[in-house]
Structure 1
Amino acid sequence: MTGWPDQEFTWDCFISFTNSDLGWARRIADLLRRAGYRVFWQGDDFIPGSRWHDLMVHGARASRHTVAVLSPRYQQSRYAMEEWELAAQAEEGGRTRLVPLWIGPTPFVTSDLHPDLETRVLVDLVGKSDRALDAAILEALDSAYHGRHQESIANAWPARLDLFTARADVLARMAAVLRSEPTDPAHATGPAGIVLLHGAAGMGKSALAVEYAHRHAGDYRIRWWVDAAHPAVARSQLAGLARELGVGHPPAPGDPLAARALRALSVRERWLVVLDGAQAGWADGLGDLVPPAGSGHVIVTSRSDRLLPPGRDRTVEVGPFTDEESFRYLLARFDGGSRPGAAGAVSPFPGSPGWPGSAAATPPGHLPLPRAGGDRQVVARDGAGRPDEAALRAIARRLGGLPLALDQAAWRRVPAASYLRQLERGAAALLARDQVPSYGHSVYAAFAAAVDDLAGSSPTARALLGLLTVLAPALVPLDLLVAGAEDLDEPLAAAAADPGVLDDTVAVLLERGLVRRDGDHLYLHPIIREVAAAVDPARADADTLAALRLLYSLALVPIEDRPQTWPWWGLLLPHMLTVAETALARTTALPGDRQPAAVTLVERAASYLGLLGEHEQAITFQRRTLAVVEEFHRAPSGPAGDASAQGSAPAAAGPDDLALATRRHNLAILLLGAGRPQEALPLLRAAGAELDRLGPHPLRAETAHSMSEVYRQLGRSDDALAELDEAVRVMAVLYGDRAAELPRYLTDQAIVLLDLGRPHEARRALDRASALAGGLDPERTAATEDARRLGVLGAILFALGQRAQAVVAFHDALARTAALYGPDHPLSRAAGRNLARAERAIGEAAR
């Protein structure tokens, strides 16, 4: 599944039941809410004084699923069957799906059912244990959400190694740890099973995780692979799991999608999450990348053994092979895979599309191996044609069981005895000549020839490879090239603008084995990435600049209030971070820019993470950009920022002041979103002082506006009003009534005036805001502001005693806010409370 759930649905689930089955309905509603679904049901949402029949109709029509709690009593209830009919009508239109749950008290008999129920596939819950009952309900919702029976839910996994050898003890230890009980259950946290695979690079930790998942495929219904090398990327991939589990509606503050996915797992069974490549040094260890509870399993791979909290022993060290394992490993490869125990070809992981390509595709960090019994020359035999086991055992001992060195040895096109003699003469020199399967050359030579050939045979393909070399070692969407074609250099620009030429260019790289293609995505193996960069190091700056220019143009596209674009941003995130790090290290800047474009990439990554609710990570990134710009500011000859990202006219002087003020303001906004106004206050004061030296400037108005929000959060309404007056004054000086920001400032001014008990003045400010908004280009006004003004209008009318009119305004505000953000967003809940308070006041006045 991609993108957000259909925004026409306010709720995920409407619980239809009869009052005699209230206990069942409450249990089901609680389970679904804990699993992350937006639930509408009588127990919580039918408030006193509301029109229950209207709410019943609303629930049935505004929910993606109607969960019917069926029993003989349900069929006898007029209103329960009316809810069923409403849901069935919506289902016939293709908008919703019924989820019928039979609660008994006895197993249903088809002949006793209502005619419409008689033809339905019912989920029979009679006689199930609590765990089995929960699992049956959630599996039914999963199937309803996807429109088909969901045997499994999985994302793309690395493919299983063809010739996986040894490691039986490690796999057994993993199984034991994952199934072990905590030594202190009263203080145990997290999922039921978690294991940390740790060891040096090249020990095969990722391959072990994949192998374990294959051998235990039948134990898991949900399998999710997460690239945990960077927490931000990991959370983005967990956000994808939230969408697959049907709980991917836009996030509310404090409720990021990654956290929602983990909570959804905590009430489910039979799931496996792999956190691959986790890094040491994170502030909270694995922290919020692990489900808070649940009966599933988590496998973590890392070079560090200190990522898990103290408690039971949940770590498994992945070290070198034993001598016997090393011998068997070499024998399987030198002997063409024909001896007993050699693995043959395998199919992709069940339920997974596989890592880019077929089952033969190579997982990241591994060299590609040919099929067992393929075209490899058999060289490890003695004069009688038997495997030279003595030489192989000696090689195994000499190499100390290092898997990477064993691979290099296995693929040397010399007899085992000859290789052993070379090894004894000098291991370091021999192992420097890395082997690639079936080529007989070093890793560098194997790929360098293909890269060199591109320069003459296909300059366009060479340019594409150069671009991939400086992007992250992750999937690269081809749409990235298409969207940024105008910002690429020739000849790649022309190829990106023509789908046919672009496909031909990709085909050149595929033919040479330099990339793998997965649908509309490309994957460049890390080893090839390093070789391609080393073949022509003089290209590094040009390739980095090309990637920087490409991503910079896309980074300036607005993402606020556009959740439909966020999955795309999730794909771009690792590339933005990688290119930004490289550019900052090389001090690469776009021609004519005083501000390194890399700073903008990091800032936009921070904005994206803030929208996902990942405020702390966003704040960390924004602090980094501020530190970079401060460093440039201190260096007289260094570049500094410009005002291009603000969309305003360039200042007459002081670009360094503007650059610093911009970064301070952006950091303050993130701190405000995290509820930390005291930390935002000094940043905004410093930004204001820097901007005062420039004279009237749009950012000065924005800083004053942000300062007003700080004062509001601190309870200083008079100071907040003064800052808003300043924001309005600056914008009026610069643009008059044409400023798109003025309606927003005036709406906030009305709010503060209302806080100060001055509703008549507040009404005048709001009327002016509405009038100015009506005169602007619709594309420059946000629907969110329209909804906000309606809510403020309701509050003003209520304060003025015009309660009937206030109810109308609050009702419209709630409808628009819920449509924009979803019913569980804090803004939607606040709008609902305002409406309920106004209706309650009218009812009390009538009595």
Structure 2
Amino acid sequence: MSERTGAQTRPGHRSEHFVVVFAGFHRPWATWIAHRLESHGHRVTLHRWDPRREVPLETALGDLLLASGRLLLVLSDWFFELGPRREGEWSEALRGVVAENADRFAAVNLTNRSLLPATAVLEPVDLWGIGSQEAERRLLGRLSLPTGAARRTLPDGPGTRYPNDPPAVWGEVPRRNARFTGRDDLLNRLQEHLMDAEQGTAVCTLLGMSGIGKTQLATEYAHRFSSDYDVIWWVNSDMRGTQRERLGELAPELGLVSGSEPGERIRAVHDALRRGEPYGRWLLIFDGWDEIDTDLLPEGPGHVLITSRNRSWTTTGAVPLEVPGFQRHESTGYLMRRAPRITAAEAAEVAAELGDIPLALVQAAAWLGESDMDVADYLRMVRDGEFSGLADQGDFDGVPRSSLTSWSILINRLRETQPHAVELLTLCTAFAPGRIPIGLVRHLPPDQLPENLTWLAGDLPGWTRALDSLVNYSVLTRDTRGTVPGEPGPEQESVHMHRLVHDIVGRLTSPDEYRAHRRVVRRMLAAADPGNPQDSRLWPRYAELLPHLEPSGALGSHDRRVQETVLNCLRYCHRSGEFRTGMELAEQVRARWSELFPPDHRRMLDLTAQQGNIMRSYGVFRPAFELDRDILARLREAVPAADPTALMTATSCLAADQRYLGQYGEALQMQRQVLETADELLGPDDYFTLNAAHNLGVGLRLLGRYADAYETDLENLRRRESLLRARHAATLVSGIACARDLRMMGRYRDALARQELGMRLHLQVLGPHHPQTLRARHNLLLCERRAGGFQDVGAAMALLLEQMEQVHGRGHYATIGLVVDHGNHAREHGDLGQARELIAEGEAGFRALLGPAHPITTGMLTNTGLVLQAAGERAEALTMFEAAYAGLAATLGPDHPWVLGCALNAAAGRNFTGRLDGALELSRDTLRRSRHALGEDHPLTLSCEVALAMDLRAVREHEEATKVEQDALQRLTRTLGAQHPHALSARQRARPYWDFEPYLG
């Protein structure tokens, strides 16, 4: 028992003591009743009551009378199955012990079903299906207590929510198992761990072997303690792709405005859960999460429950709870409820033989409950190993031999009595375990089914009988998640198959039958392919198909439709941001297709293109380059000559790799070839041609040819607006490119105006957290920074960085680039500590990602030098400036804008360290080259001119210095405006600097 003490009562009101007696099934009701009684000034003791079968019921009821106070029984039809006990035993006890002590007993009723007639002696008051205020009034009335207002307001906590009020969000939790037995101690420990955890997210992991009941425990916890939560969301986690899709689906349920990408939806969900808005009491259940990835774990005031076989969760801070087999009394209680004809002794014998493993007991109870086989005959077959071949195969995660034999008995008996049920069951083994969209088979015409399975498409009564039989025998469970309210039609039906059952049935299936069923499933997957992985509305369907590709043999199929489905699933991974899953899938496909096709086959080229896209998006640049380089070399050497379109596609992929690897000149030359070929073969209006033109603009921009890039991008933007539409995602990308070109050309106000428009369109079309929207926002912040006058850019950068990290991860190149820009802004505004930290992180990140010789890595040295210079470490800063200048000049040539910017900083470093002649010489040369490369009015050119005036003044060339300075000020005022920060700094004779914005394309 656990006592809950209420407040002291006011004078004139008598405080009473109540013992609330409940089955573990109804703890939420007991805690709510206690909460309400305490609010009226009474003392309450909660007593979970589940007397062992061997204890006479009259004795157990009599023991309750030993407690002081009145006894309030929380009744339901479940309450009278405790033990379990015969109806007559309950009737005798109620007419005896309870009737003799009627003044000590009272009851509430939680069900609309009929209770035992003898319960009339308890005079139970009905709380089923009514509101909280009426329930409280009836409760107090039954106990003869005043029904006025409560005397005190108790703090929120377990029991404060009315159990009849469902959670505001209920996320596809499996149906409650009406036969769930025992586990009360474990469930109570689980609740205590979650409720008593320190402020912040409480995480518990249910650990145990297959079949031990982890999922059933999690399901029961969600139902039993649902009144403690406003949000309960179930996430199938055996596949990362489906796990992320499912977690992201919580966003609209929370009323969040988010885009269609899983990453953006997950970010929005994590942010809402962390803040506890709109709900602070939430429970997320990750079922079957064996591959640890803590990035998906939410933080906040709620609870997380994980089921897993992976014991490494103990190293992540999650509280581990080992799930053992049933206790013997739980085993016997379950068997006797499911098979009422067997005795307690027989139930104990079966439980001992099966090792008290829940899944084995479920199967045994189903068989003994549905058949008329004697327990002795059943045990004889199990012990004699009549079907022992399965057990001899081993590798069953510690499952006892007897349990495997019992499964063999069931399935072989079903073969004899219900062959259709077994045919449907074995078809399920051609899918992955877990959720199986079995109804898809009914979309196939009979001529695409083997002769023995044609009934699946045309015999609806047979379908229903077979599925019902498998559910009744607890071999499968119906999975109605994601369906419309009510019972789904046969074509929409899904089932859940435990991985252990999947393995057992698979090993009992003949090789010929298994091969035939895999062919059927492959056809089902191809027929279910929506054919448009670019459409985010169809991503849930692709997430559903993805887990079944490998088990069905789709990855090695010769069927062209199946192969296209595989490629579409890869395209889905790329478009939806499932890069890790996509990389793993691409490797599996490559291993299978390499046995089917020569390296230069069109299917291999399509695979390589998709694999390269995923690798580049994930930041794996060198392997993508090697993959594309090898395939292009094969195509060029092919005899007869390869398809020109295939050559063009492979060349385009290699050019993209070269851009990311810093091989800008080679990439530009190759991209020109791609565009010329695309224009010739496909025409100027083809989607591929438009993409090739966009990539040409990227290449020109990376080489510092900003005006040429703008001309290319502007023309491509116009064509995309005309051919695609103004709000097409590709058109919006061209808008970002044009705004970036304008900014790099020094036309800051024009760039800002264009990017502001583009930002509004991104928000309308793609949503605020789409990766492309984040890229647009990043560019907008840079435009605002360069345009001047925006004081909140730093705060906006910090917010965007948080969003980027949620979508891409901290180590992604897009996130690292924003880290650097945020660090530059922090240094510029005097936060040297934050700047040092962020710039160091950015430099290390790019070095690890790109290598030490990449232009981006080299350019980062000048940002490090600016931090050192601001800290007064001028000699160290000069070393960084000179290294960046020399390194980039050797790689990109002396006239690249990045080189000119590094030269500007190096001249300042020389000046600050007393090397005045060297500074003057470098400043003169840099200004000359900048005028040639960027034009006389470019902001970088004008900064070089201001710097030259300062170096002239330092060597006492005052007349020339004044002339150069006045020209620079006039041009700055005309170009940027008199109040622009650059113009103001020049008037104050502050030394100009150039910070490096890392850009990969």
TM-score w.r.t. length of structure 2: 0.51
Tell me, in whole angstroms, the C-alpha distance in 1 between the residues paired with 2:363 and 2:701. Answer: 75
**Partner amino acid, structure 2, of 1:275:** F
Out of 215, 232, 241, the residue aligned to residue 250 of structure 2 is: 241
What does residue 419 of structure 2 align with? 452
Task: State the Cα distance separating 1:829 from its structure 2 match.
Answer: 0.4
Q: Counterpart in 2 of 1:833?
A: 781
| Contact 2:554–2:562, Cα closer than 8 Å, also in 1 | yes
Contact 1:179 1:192 (C-alpha < 8 Å) held by counterparts? no
| 1:117-516 equivalent positions in 2, closer than 5 A | 151-181=167-197, 192-247=201-256, 249-250=258-259, 255-258=263-266, 260-268=268-276, 269-279=280-290, 282=291, 285-291=292-298, 293-309=299-315, 314-334=319-339, 336=340, 378-380=341-343, 389-407=344-362, 410=365, 411-412=367-368, 413=372, 431=402, 442-445=409-412, 447-448=414-415, 452=419, 470-475=430-435, 507=464, 509=466, 516=478
Q: 1:839 to 1:445 in 2, by over 3 A?
A: same
Q: Match of 2:579?
A: 615
Give the CA deviation at 1:736.
4.4
How far does residue 727 in structure 1 lie from its aligned partner after superposition?
A: 1.1
Query: What residue ranges of structure 2 are gaps of 5+ in the alignment?
Result: 1-152, 389-400, 481-487, 790-973, 980-1001
1:693 paired to 2:637? yes
Is the 1:201–1:303 contact (alpha carbons within 8 Å) kept by the matching residues of 2? yes
Whole-angstrom CA distance in 1 between matches of 2:453 and 2:194: 50
> C-alpha distance in 2, partners of 1:502/1:846?
83
- Residue 203 of structure 1 deviates from its aligned partner by 1.9
Please report how far the alpha carbon of residue 738 of structure 1 lies from its aligned counterpart in structure 2 after TM superposition.
5.3
Separation (CA, whole Å) in 2 of partners of 1:496 and 1:443? 22
- 2 CA distance for matches of 1:629 and 1:216? 50
Distance 1:469 1:524, change over 3 A: farther
Provide the identity percentage. 23
Asked whether 1:565 is paired with 2:538, we answer yes
Superposition deviation, residue 707 in structure 1 = 3.3
CA RMSD of aligned residues (A): 4.7
Bigger RCO of structures 1 and 2 (CA < 8 A, at least 6 apart): 1
Asked whether the equivalents of residues 661 and 688 of structure 1 are also in contact (C-alpha less than 8 Å), the reply is no
Task: Report 1:719-758 matches (<5 A).
Answer: 719-737=666-684, 739-758=686-705
What's the CA shift for 1:397? 4.2
Which stretch of structure 1 is more off in the superposition, 206-215 or 689-698?
689-698
Residue identity in the other structure for 1:676? V
CA distance in 2, matches of 1:838, 1:512: 70
SS of residue in 2 equivalent to 1:568: helix
CA distance in 2, matches of 1:172, 1:506: 41
User: Offset at 1:476?
Assistant: 5.4
Match of 1:165, SS state, is coil
Q: How far does the alpha carbon of each residue in 1:335-383 deviate from its partner, in whole angstroms, 9 at most, with x for none?
A: x3xxxxxxxxxxxxxxxxxxxxxxxxxxxxxxxxxxxxxxxxx243xxx
Q: Say which SS state the counterpart of residue 226 (structure 1) adopts.
A: strand
Change in 2 beyond 3 A, CA 1:758/1:417? closer
2:497 is aligned with 1:543: no
Question: Equivalents in 1 of 2:680, 2:426: separation in Å?
Answer: 49
Query: Is residue 624 of structure 1 aligned with residue 588 of structure 2?
Result: yes
Q: Within 2, Cα distance between the matches of 1:426 and 1:793? A: 75
In the TM superposition, 1:734-813 aligns within 5 A as 734-737=681-684, 739-766=686-713, 769=716, 773=720, 778=724, 783-796=728-741, 809-813=754-758
Q: CA deviation at 1:711?
A: 3.6
Larger Rg, first or second structure (1 or 2): 2
What do the CA deviations read for 1:613-635 (whole angstroms, capped 9, x no partner)?
332222222222233334x1xxx
**CA–CA separation in structure 1 for the residues paired with 2:707 and 2:384:** 93
SS in 1 for 2:185: helix
Separation in structure 1 between the aligned mates of residue 444 and residue 727 of structure 2, nearest angstrom? 26
Contact kept, 8 Å, 1:257 with 1:612, in 2: the verdict is no
Cα distance in 2 between the residues matched to 1:486 and 1:766: 53
Deviation at 1:813, TM superposition (A): 2.9
Q: What is the identity, as a one-letter code, of the residue corresponding to 1:698?
A: T
Deviation for aligned residue 1:270: 1.9
Gaps of 5+ in 1: 1-127, 133-138, 140-148, 186-190, 337-377, 381-388, 456-461, 633-638, 641-653
Partner Cα distance (2:167, 2:975) in 1: 52
Partner of 1:343: none
Cα distance, 1:731 vs structure 2: 1.9
**How many angstroms does 1:725 deviate by?**
0.9
Q: Is the 8 A contact 1:696 1:730 kept in 2?
A: no
Contact kept, 8 Å, 2:554 with 2:563, in 1: the verdict is no
Q: Is the 8 A contact 1:466 1:533 kept in 2?
A: no
Shift of 1:701: 2.5
Q: Distance in 2 between matches of 1:730 and 1:845?
A: 45
Letter in 2 for 1:815: R
Q: Secondary structure at the match of 1:786?
A: helix
Asked if structure 1 preserves the Cα contact closer than 8 Å seen for 2:436 and 2:496, the reply is no
Q: 1:740 and 1:564 mapped to 2: Cα distance?
A: 22
Q: Deviations over 1:485-531 (max 9, x none)?
A: 7995699999999xxx7977865655666784742531245389776
Cα pair 1:555 1:601 within 8 Å, conserved: yes
- Could you tell me whether the CA contact under 8 Å between 1:577 and 1:601 is conserved in 2? no
Would the aligned equivalents of 1:448 and 1:531 in 2 still touch at CA under 8 Å? no
Instruction: State which of 602, 615, 620 in structure 2 corresponds to 1:671.
Output: 615
The range that moved more, 515-524 or 239-248, is: 515-524
Residues 228 and 276, structure 1, Cα contact 8 Å, conserved in 2: yes
Alpha-carbon distance in 1 for matches of 2:240, 2:633: 35
CA contact (8 A) 2:438 2:495 kept: no
Contact 1:821–1:828 (8 Å) recurs in 2: no
Q: Is 1:845 matched with 2:977? A: yes
AA partner of residue 518 (structure 2): T
Specify the alignment match of 1:819 in structure 2: 764
Q: Secondary structure at the match of 2:315?
A: coil
Q: Distance in 2 between matches of 1:180 and 1:797?
A: 57
Hey, what's the Cα distance between the residues in 1 that align with 2:689 and 2:459?
45
Q: 1:696 to 1:294 in 2, by over 3 A?
A: same
Structure 2 distance, partners of 1:179, 1:558, is: 45
State the shift of 1:238 in Å.
Answer: 1.2
- Structure 1 residues 484 and 739, CA gap change in structure 2 (3 angstroms): farther
Given that 2:258 and 2:768 are in contact with CA atoms closer than 8 Å, whether structure 1 keeps it comes out as no
**Letter aligned with residue 822 of structure 1:** G
Higher helix content, 1 or 2: 2
Q: How many residues are treated as equivalent by the alignment?
A: 596
Quick one: structure 1 residues 270 and 502, their matched pair in 2 at CA, closer, same or farther if it must change by over 3 Å?
A: farther
Cα separation, 2, equivalents of 1:496 and 1:331: 35
**Residues 723 and 423 (structure 1), Cα distance of their counterparts in 2 relative to 1, 3 Å cut:** closer
Amino acid at match of 2:696: Q
Question: Helix, strand or coil: the match of 1:250?
Answer: coil
Give the 3 Å change call, closer, same or farther, for CA 775–222 of structure 1 in structure 2. Answer: closer
Query: Quick check: 1:747–1:769 contact (8 Å CA) kept in 2?
Result: yes
Amino acid at match of 2:522: L
Q: Say if 2:429 and 2:505, in contact at 8 Å, map to a contact too.
A: no
Q: Is this contact kept in 2: 1:606–1:622, CA < 8 A?
A: yes
Q: Who is 1:575 aligned against?
A: 548
TM-score where L is the length of structure 1: 0.60
Distance 1:772 1:494, change over 3 A: farther
Structure 1 residue 688, shift from structure 2 partner: 2.0
Instruction: Write the letter of the residue equivalent to 1:305.
Output: R
